[in-house]
Each structure stands twice: as C-alpha cells, then as structure tokens.
Amino acid sequence: MQPNSRQLDNEALAAAARLASGDLSAAEFAALEQRLLTDDAFRQAYVEQVDLDGEIERHLSSIPVDWPSPPQTPRYVWLGALALAASLLLITTMLALVLLREDRVASTAPQLEYVEAQLRGLRAVAVATQLEGELTTADESIQVGARVKPGSLRIGAGALQIEFLSGVIVRLSGPAEMHLLTPDSATLIYGSAAAVVPPDAGDFTLNGPVSAIAASGSEFAYSAPDAHAATIDVYEGEVMTSLLGESGDTLLNELVKADQTARFADKSIEVTAASFAQSDRVRVLPIDEMSLSVTDEYAAAILADRPLVYWRFEPQQQQGDLVRNVVSDRYAGLVRSDDDSVKVERGSLHFEPSPRSRYFKLTEPLADLNAGDFTLEMWVRPNRMHWGTILGLLPDGQMAVNRERHLAVLEYANHTNLVHRPATMRFLYRYPSNSYDGGMNVFSAESCTPGLWHHLVAVKSAEGIALYLNGKLRQVFDTLTIKDEEPYTAVLGQLDTLRPSRQFDGQLDEVAIYPAALSTADVERHYQIMTGASSRQ
C-alpha cells in the first residue's frame, strides 16, 4: 500500500530531523539518498519540507530588531540546523546531478564527467590515478593526479581508477556513475566498480541497491545495472552486505566471503559459491613497473655535486644482493629479503609489502655525516597511498632487540599520527637521537600521486631542515650547529632493520647522499635536467 501524503510528510520531517541531530549512520544516510533518488513522492515531500523551513526562516529574519528578544536558542539547535542545511545541500546537489540528465551514456564520444558538490569547506577525498581508453572529459580537472572532492563521477566507456585518501583503490568501468562521499565511502548509482581495500585502510563502504561494507584486506567487484538489482563478487577477504529498509535500518544482511557471489533482487540477498577465472575478474588497473628515464646529463650533474653515495641500480652495478656505489668502492647497498619483496629490476629498486622484515641497507656506516650539513636525494614512485618509510638514518651499532632509534626519517606520509595533508612526503630530523619521540618535521607542499615518479630532496643544514618535492620547497628554520661524530647507517624500505613496520610499497631510483647541503639552485637544476620543466612554472 502506498503511503498517503500525511504519512509522507511525517516521514520527510522525521528524516530531516534525524539528519539534523546527527542520528543517521552511514548506512541510513545512504538509504535516505537512495530513496530520494527513486521515490518521486517522498522526494517531493522532502523538498516541500525544505522550502517550508526556508520560508519560516525568511519570515523570522524580518522581525524588527527592537522587538523583545525571544528566549536564547540553545547552541546545539543552531548546530543541528547548520548540519541540516549542509546535508540537504549535498543531497540536493547529488539529486540535481542525476535528475537533470536524461541519458546516462552520451551518443557521441565517451565522456568522463565530474561535478563537484557545491559546499564550502569540502576537502579532497580521492585522487585520480589512472585512465583507460580514449576518453573526452567534460571537466579539465579530471586527469591523472587530480584531487577529487565529494561529488559525482560519470564515465561513458573505458575505465577510471581513483585512490581514496584512506588507501582504498576503486576502478570504475563505463558506463557507470559513482558519488564520492568521504575518504572511506561512496555510492554506486549504476555500472560496475572494483575495489581493493588494503590491510591498513580500515573498512570501506560502497553503497548502492545494497550496502557493502568491506573489511581491511578485501577485494571485490560491485555491479548495479539499476536501482533494484546488484551483484557482488568477493575475491579476497569478506564483505558485509545489507539490504536497507525505508527507515535506513538493515532488513537483511549476509556476510559474503572470498570465492562467493551475492545477488540482490526482489528484496532478497542470495549468496552462492563461485569460482572466478583470472580472465573474468574485474580488477583494479595494475600499477605498471615503469622505469625512470635517466639521461647521462642528469648522472653527470649528480656526480659533479660530489655525493658520498650514489646508487643507480643499473644491471652492471649489481652483484648478487649487492648494488655498487658508482662514486667509489665503498658504501655499497645490500638487499635483505628472503621472499623477493625487495629486488632490483629494470634499473630501479622495487619494494613490495611483506609480513617479514625486508629492506635495503648500507654495507658500512657513514662517519661524521651529522657533524655538518647533509642532503638526501632520490626519485620515488609509490604504488599506493600508505604510510611507508623511504629512507632512515640510524645510529650504527644499536643493540636494541625490539626497535631502533633514528637521526632522520624520510617517508611517504598518509594517515599518520600527525597533522598534515594526505599522501605527502615527510622529513623528520631528531637530534640527539636517544629517544623515539618528537623531533623537527617538515612536510611537502603537495601530495604525491601513486604511479608517478617524484623528485625528492631532503636537506639538513646549520639553518634548519628543508624538503623539496618536484622542486617545490618547504623548510623549517632552526640553529643546527652540531658537533656529532657518531656514525650513521641508511636503511631503505621500512622503519628499521628489526620490525616490518611502515613498509614502503613502490620504487626508488637515483639515490644520492651528500656530505653537504644542496642549494635551491642545485635542486632546481637537477629537476630541470630530468624533466625539462621548471618547478616554478
């Protein structure tokens, strides 16, 4: 039986009130959004309720200022009203994106379209990392490396891969439409999406005809041809699927595990065993193992600035697990890995996640490195957004059995225990290095897109510390005139030699360690030689 108008008005009023009070869970919010998209009568009642609230507000605002003041409105009521206004505006924006479109797929060339939700203060929730197919874009902001705020993504053909700031990777295959909500949630309006939820990413919610909450370490594909049917294939891990009622509460739920398929139709969920052939699986686009194209001119420029260590990872410089330093016969690098998660291939150093400790390390310590200035320079290509240590300088000869101390740490910082923008580079300097807490930090001016090579330079000088990412400088000034004669070793790929913690997932190349501070002009020159572009453009 269809609800009457009074019942619809009451339901619309109740939904708005719960939204304002913050009582809606993520699943209930998704159910409300879905009902607004599919239920014309409820949507009309909801819009009328919003208009009525606006009209009341307009009349109240016209009261003369010399009228007796009414009782003070509690602060929580105003906060609720603000939350209601923001939420209604976001939902209305999403509705406009859908209702104003008569055709899902353009009849001309395939289109990639992104429309940002028009709300102030929204922050990016994802980064576009790969495009597949010949796509024309309706918005120039959608390109590899673009930071994407909450809004609507629509693709007519091909595929778009985005990486949420939580670390979750989603591949959207056209024709499809997805609404991006937060760093760990989205709504699939129609089409197909594949998602990989890394072990350190936390849960990820993909809403649609059914709500799918994937646990850490899961991989699944979600297909929704329309608002009334869906299929979820779970390749790894597990996904909790929930069929929601009109109130937003769960009516039915089923846990779908690896090698199982869940089908939603006729208000039911059916879970069956499945065997997925590799050729049939809708996977995220793999990050290719693209090598860095290095010219002789670049290598000559590095050598001219006289580094102590310069690892180029060319085949002729590798002898078993040893990588020769091209500057001298000293300071070779050693691969420590018993499961092939660290290897030298195609002229670069590759790191993959492993449950075991694995790293790349100096064969002998650097004496007097911290007695004056020093510089760390390299090219970095992360495979995904994560918190991973790229290089650490550690006091040599530590006897700890659980963890080791650091003089400096250079890392890819995403979802750390510090305040910074997502997916940046971090340079930590800590002297004296006799504790595990605190230190001087500087973060890069921009985020780092997975799958792209980035030029990274960290400098410690008597005036402070500096960090360059693709030529752009950030620095912290302090007096660092230190007489430190302690020897230090370099460990690359994880936090230290004892723990498999903060493992870097990606590639490194052209790693150089200098016993001096490179100037801004030096860094700019190195970057220009490699890229042909100025960092100041």
Q: What is the mean pLDDT of the chain?
A: 83
What number of other Cβ atoms are within 10 A of residue 75's Cβ?
A: 8
Q: Which residues contact 42 (CB under 8 A, 6 or more apart)?
A: 8, 11, 12, 35, 36
Instruction: Name which residue leads in pLDDT, 327 or 135.
Output: 327
Q: pLDDT, tens digit, for every residue of 236-287?
A: 999 999 887 776 677 788 999 999 999 998 788 999 999 887 655 555 555 5
- Class of CATH domain 111-273: mainly beta
pLDDT at 325 over 80: yes
Structure tokens at 380: 């970095």
Nearest to 451 by CA among 290, 293, 343: 290
pLDDT at 68: 40
pLDDT at 100 over 50: no
pLDDT at 83: 44
Instruction: Name which residue leads in pLDDT, 175 or 130.
Output: 175
Nearest to 177 by CA among 208, 142, 153, 143: 153
pLDDT at 513 over 90: yes
Parallel, antiparallel or unpaired: strands 136-137 and 111-116:
parallel
User: What confidence tier does 188 reach under pLDDT thresholds 50, 70, 90?
Assistant: very high
User: What confidence tier does 534 reach under pLDDT thresholds 50, 70, 90?
Assistant: low
pLDDT at 519 over 50: yes
Highest mean pLDDT, choosing among 30-34, 46-50, 328-332: 328-332
Single pTM value for the model: 0.66
pLDDT at 84 over 50: no
Average the pLDDT over 302-328 and give the result: 97
What CATH number was assigned to the domain covering residues 296-531? 2.60.120.200
End-to-end C-alpha distance for the chain, whole angstroms: 64
Average the pLDDT over 475-482 and give the result: 89
